[in-house]
Amino acid sequence: MEEIMSDDKKKDTQEEARARQAQASDDASALAQPGAESDIAEPEPFTELENLHAEVAGLKDKLLRTLADMENMRRRTEKEIADAKTYGVANFAREMLTFADNLRRAVDSVPEQSREGLEQNIRTLIEGVELTERDFVSRLARFGVKKIEAQGQRFDPNQHEALFEIPDESVPNGTVAQVVEPGYTIGERVLRPAKVGVARGGPKA
């Protein structure tokens, strides 16, 4: 009886040994497979390439936006510099217009027909004033200051300031019939509007 039990124990022991060997072999095979040492899967090559393309596209978009912003800033800076050169003397030129007005009033105070009876030195003085006025106006023009030609033109509220109305049926309604004070522009801006009298009663322009 004891011998039979001993044989059974031996068989169990042998089966357990074989089972342990089989388990050890399976473990060794699993360790030998690629990636078995880590549970983190490596990214597929195509997915990584797509990510790189997306990153490059994003960087390219940012670069283009930055270049566009720099170009806009350059244009704004150039315009500001040009405006500063053109309109930087606007306040000074506006003050000088009074001097031009006074020169013109001095000339107009002596009508052309009244000069014949004047002495030569007086006529020379008047001619000198006229020459000074023309020279001064030409110097203003070098800085972009130009006189507004309002006489006979259609009234423009952007360039003219109406002081009164003149009944006149011989010219179209709204025509500048009289210039009380000349206006001036600087560049594309009105430095001082022309003060005028506007005709009323004529046909529509």
pLDDT given for residue 119 in this prediction: 83
Give the 3-state secondary structure of residue 98: helix
Q: Could you tell me the pLDDT band of residue 47, with boundaries at 50, 70 and 90?
A: confident
Q: Could you tell me the pLDDT band of residue 42, with boundaries at 50, 70 and 90?
A: low
> Stretch 5-26: mean pLDDT, rounded?
58
pTM over 0.85? The answer is: no
pLDDT given for residue 49 in this prediction: 83
Q: How far apart are CA 62 and CA 54, in angstroms?
A: 13
DSSP per position, 131-183 = HHHHHHHHHHHHTTEEE---TTSBP-TTTEEEEEEEE-SSS-TTBEEEEEE--
Q: What CATH number does the domain located at 148-205 have? A: 2.30.22.10
**Residue 130: its H or E element:** helix 120-142
Q: Could you tell me the pLDDT band of residue 180, with boundaries at 50, 70 and 90?
A: very high
Give the 3-state secondary structure of residue 196: strand
pLDDT of residue 192 exceeding 50, the answer is yes
pLDDT of residue 92 exceeding 70, the answer is yes
* Token code pair at residue 41: 């899967």
pLDDT given for residue 3 in this prediction: 44
pLDDT given for residue 108 in this prediction: 87
pLDDT given for residue 36 in this prediction: 44
**From the CB of residue 159, how many other CB atoms can be counted at a distance below 10 Å?**
19
pLDDT given for residue 23 in this prediction: 62
User: Vertex 141, ends 147 and 87: CA angle to 5°?
Assistant: 95
The bridge status of strand 160-167 relative to strand 189-192 is: unpaired
pLDDT given for residue 31 in this prediction: 47
Torsion sign across C-alpha atoms 190, 194, 198, 203: negative
Share of the chain above pLDDT 90, in %: 44
Taking each helix axis from N to C end, the angle separating 90-108 and 120-142, rounded to the nearest 10 degrees, works out to 160
Q: Where are the domains of the chain?
A: 61-144, 148-205
DSSP per position, 41-84 = PPPPHHHHHHHHHHHHHHHHHHHHHHHHHHHHHHHHHHHHHHHH
